[in-house]
């Protein structure tokens, strides 16, 4: 599983981008890819 830091996420739009720990291009993240429904909003 790839790990990284959330660069940007819009709860209103339901998507954002993650910067991978190992470097490389940012990864697109859609809210449906978040397994734990308690964290679907990715609050601070």
pLDDT at 38 over 70: no
What is the Cα–Cα distance from 44 to 3, expressed in whole angstroms? 17
Sheet holding 27-30, edge to edge: 4-10, 15-20, 27-30
CATH class of domain segment(s) 4-39: mainly beta
pTM of the model: 0.69
DSSP 8-state secondary structure symbol assigned to residue 22: T
pLDDT at 21 over 90: yes
**More confident: 43 or 31:** 31
């Amino acid at each position: 599983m790839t790990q990284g830091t959330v660069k940007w996420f819009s709860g209103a739009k339901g998507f954002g981008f993650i910067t991978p720990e190992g470097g490389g291009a940012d990864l697109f993240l859609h809210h449906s890819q978040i397994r734990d429904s308690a964290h679907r909003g990715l609050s601070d």
